C-alpha cells in the first residue's frame, strides 16, 4: 500500500469515515449504587451537587457524580416504606439560600402523609434533623399529618411553582376506584393538588398560610378547603412546571396514574387553579364510575393518554428546556411508564386561552436502553442547566439523557484528490 503523508490527506480532504446509524438520544449512567431511588433533586446552591431520594428514607448526596458517604438526611426511623409508601418527595423553595429550608413528603410509621420542613446545618451537605417541623394540616393543636385510609395512592410529589408557592400532589387515599369518592369531596385533601404559602416565620404554629388567590377561598366554585388548588386526581405521580426562566410557559403538567385501562397527562395553564380533572368519574378521557355526580363541572380532559396495552403506571416528567439535546427536543414533554420502563416525548402546542394540545408522540426506549434496560422508571429530574435525568428505581441508578455520541467508524476509505 502506498504511504500517504499528512499534508496530502489534508489538502485533498481525502479521509471519509463511514459510521453506523446513530440514535438522537442516549442514556449515560450519572450515579449508581442507590436503593430504590424515587427522585433526584438539584441543589440550588451548587451545580455540582444533586440529592437522591431513596424510598426507604435516606437522602443521598451526589457531588461531581460521586455518591458521598454521609447522608444529607436519614428518616428511616420515622417512616413506613414499601409498596407505594416511603420517603416520596423533596423540594427546595426559591428563597432557600436565605433561610436554608427544604421540604420532604413521606408516609409515617402509621402510613399517614407528613409534609415536613427542615433546615440545612452549617455544612450545606448535611441537614439539621433537630430543625424538623411538620406542617399542621388540621390546626395547631391536632395531628400534623394527612390521614391515609389505605396503603396505596399516597401521591407524594412536592414542587415550588413559578409563583413561589408549594404544590403538593395528593392521591385519592387508595384501594381501587376511590371507594370513598374522596377526589370529589371538598372537605378532603385527598385526590387533590394542594397549594400553600410556606414563607412564614419558624414560629408559625401550622407552618403555612393559604394564599388569598387559591380558587376555593371564599367558597367557590363549591365549598372546599382553602388549601385545595385542583380536584379530581387519582394518584399524581410527578408533576412539574414548564420553567419560565428557561423560556417555558409556566404551565403545570401532571402524570396521573390510572386504574385498569388508561394513563394520562394533564395540562394546566399558568395560574389556572380550580380545575376538576375528573377522577373517579373519568379515567383518562373515558367514563369510569358515573353513578355519583362530580363536585362541579367542567371535567378537564387530559392532553395525552395511553392504554394499558402500552404501560400500566405513568411517571410524569419535564418539558425539556436545556441545550445539550438536538434543538427539535426543546419544548417537548418527556414522560415514562414505571411498570414497562418505556420513555416517550410529546410536542406541545399552545392554543387559545393558554391551553395546549399534544401531538407527535415519540418513543425513546430503545435508544435510551443502549447501555442496558431502563428498568422501572420512578422519576425524572433536571440539573442546573435544564438537562434531564432519569431515575431507575429497580436498577438503583440515575441516568442522564444526552445527545447521540459521535458515530463509530465501521470502515475507512481514502478518496483520490
Domain count, the chain: 1
| Predicted local confidence at residue 371, as pLDDT | 74
| Average pLDDT for 333-347 | 98
pLDDT beyond 70 at 163: yes
Range from 16-25, 223-232, 307-316 carrying the lowest mean pLDDT: 16-25
| 369 occurs within a structural domain | yes
| Predicted local confidence at residue 64, as pLDDT | 98
Note if the bond before 402 is cis, omega within 30 degrees.
no
Q: Which residue would you say has higher pLDDT here, 98 or 11?
A: 98
Q: What would you report as the CA-atom Rg of the chain, rounded to the nearest whole angstrom?
A: 23
**pTM value surpassing 0.95:** no
| 97 occurs within a structural domain | no
| 395 occurs within a structural domain | yes
- As a whole number of Å, the end-to-end CA separation of the chain is 17
| 55 occurs within a structural domain | no
| Average pLDDT for 297-320 | 98
Mean pLDDT across the chain, nearest whole number? 93
**Tell me: the pLDDT tens digits for 31-83?**
999 999 999 999 999 999 999 999 999 999 999 999 999 999 999 999 999 99
| 236 occurs within a structural domain | no
Are the C-beta atoms of residues 150 and 234 closer than 8 Å to each other? no
| Predicted local confidence at residue 272, as pLDDT | 96
Percent of the chain with pLDDT over 70: 92
* Angle formed at CA 323 by CA 40 and CA 62, multiple of 5 degrees: 25
Q: How many C-beta atoms lie closer than 10 Å to residue 186's C-beta?
A: 17
C-alpha to C-alpha distances, 187 to 149, 184, 190, 220, 222, nearest whole angstrom: 15, 9, 9, 13, 10
pLDDT beyond 80 at 166: yes
| 329 occurs within a structural domain | yes
pLDDT beyond 90 at 5: no
411: confidence class by pLDDT, cuts 50, 70, 90: low
| 2 occurs within a structural domain | no
Place of cell 502506498: 2
| Average pLDDT for 286-305 | 98
| Predicted local confidence at residue 372, as pLDDT | 83
**Tell me: the pLDDT tens digits for 95-104?**
999 999 999 9
Collapse the DSSP code of 97 into the 3-class scheme (helix H, G, I; strand E, B; otherwise coil) and give the result: helix
Going by the DSSP 8-state scheme, the letter that residue 209 receives in this structure is: B
| Predicted local confidence at residue 184, as pLDDT | 98
C-alpha span between 294 and 278 (Å, rounded): 7
pLDDT beyond 50 at 216: yes
| Average pLDDT for 93-113 | 97
| Predicted local confidence at residue 410, as pLDDT | 56
CATH number at 372 reads: 2.40.10
Beta-strand (E) ranges in 165-313?
166-169, 193-196, 228-230, 236-241, 252-256, 262-268, 282-283, 286-287, 304-307
**Tell me: the pLDDT tens digits for 363-404?**
999 999 987 889 999 999 999 999 999 999 999 999 999 998
pLDDT beyond 80 at 257: yes
| 356 occurs within a structural domain | yes
| Predicted local confidence at residue 191, as pLDDT | 99
219: confidence class by pLDDT, cuts 50, 70, 90: confident
Neighbouring-strand partners of residue 28: 400
| Average pLDDT for 345-374 | 95
Q: Note down the domain range covering 355.
A: 24-33+312-406
pLDDT beyond 60 at 87: yes
Amino acid at each position: 500500500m502506498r504511504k500517504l503523508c499528512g499534508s496530502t490527506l489534508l489538502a485533498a480532504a481525502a479521509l471519509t469515515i463511514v459510521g453506523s446509524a446513530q440514535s438522537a438520544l442516549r442514556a449515560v449512567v450519572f450515579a449508581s449504587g442507590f436503593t430504590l431511588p424515587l427522585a433526584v433533586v438539584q441543589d440550588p446552591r451548587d451545580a455540582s451537587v444533586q440529592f437522591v431520594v431513596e424510598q426507604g428514607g435516606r437522602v443521598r448526596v451526589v457531588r461531581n457524580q460521586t455518591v458521598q458517604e454521609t447522608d444529607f438526611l436519614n428518616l428511616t426511623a420515622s417512616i413506613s416504606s414499601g409498596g407505594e409508601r416511603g420517603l416520596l418527595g423533596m423540594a427546595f423553595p426559591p428563597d432557600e439560600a436565605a433561610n436554608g429550608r427544604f421540604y420532604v413528603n413521606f408516609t409515617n410509621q402509621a402510613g399517614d402523609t407528613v409534609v415536613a420542613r427542615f433546615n440545612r446545618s452549617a455544612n450545606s451537605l448535611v441537614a439539621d434533623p433537630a430543625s424538623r417541623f411538620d406542617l399542621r394540616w388540621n390546626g395547631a393543636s391536632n395531628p400534623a399529618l394527612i390521614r391515609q385510609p389505605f396503603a396505596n395512592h399516597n401521591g407524594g410529589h412536592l414542587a415550588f411553582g413559578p409563583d413561589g408557592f408549594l404544590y403538593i400532589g395528593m392521591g385519592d387515599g387508595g384501594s381501587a376506584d376511590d371507594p370513598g369518592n374522596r377526589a370529589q369531596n371538598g372537605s378532603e385533601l385527598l385526590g387533590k393538588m394542594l397549594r400553600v404559602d410556606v414563607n412564614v416565620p419558624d414560629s408559625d404554629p401550622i407552618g403555612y398560610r393559604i394564599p388569598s388567590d387559591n380558587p376555593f377561598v371564599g367558597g367557590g366554585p363549591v365549598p372546599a378547603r382553602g388549601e385545595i388548588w385542583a380536584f379530581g386526581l387519582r394518584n399524581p405521580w410527578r408533576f412539574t412546571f414548564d420553567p419560565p426562566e428557561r423560556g417555558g410557559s409556566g404551565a403545570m403538567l401532571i402524570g396521573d396514574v390510572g386504574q385498569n385501562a388508561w394513563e394520562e397527562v394533564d395540562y394546566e395553564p399558568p395560574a389556572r387553579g380550580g380545575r376538576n380533572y375528573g377522577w373517579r368519574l373519568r379515567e383518562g378521557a373515558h367514563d369510569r364510575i358515573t353513578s355519583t355526580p362530580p363536585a362541579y363541572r367542567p371535567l378537564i380532559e387530559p392532553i395525552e393518554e395511553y392504554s394499558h396495552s402500552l404501560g400500566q403506571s405513568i411517571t410524569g416528567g419535564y418539558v425539556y428546556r436545556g441545550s445539550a439535546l438536538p434543538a427539535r427536543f426543546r419544548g417537548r414533554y418527556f414522560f415514562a411508564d414505571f411498570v414497562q420502563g418505556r420513555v416517550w416525548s410529546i410536542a406541545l402546542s399552545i392554543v387559545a386561552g393558554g391551553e395546549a394540545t399534544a401531538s407527535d408522540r415519540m418513543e425513546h426506549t430503545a435508544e435510551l436502553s443502549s447501555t442496558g434496560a431502563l428498568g422501572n422508571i420512578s422519576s425524572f429530574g433536571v440539573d442546573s442547566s435544564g438537562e434531564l435525568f432519569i431515575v431507575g428505581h429497580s436498577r438503583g441508578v440515575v441516568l442522564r439523557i444526552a445527545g447521540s455520541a459521535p458515530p463509530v467508524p465501521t470502515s475507512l476509505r481514502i478518496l483520490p484528490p
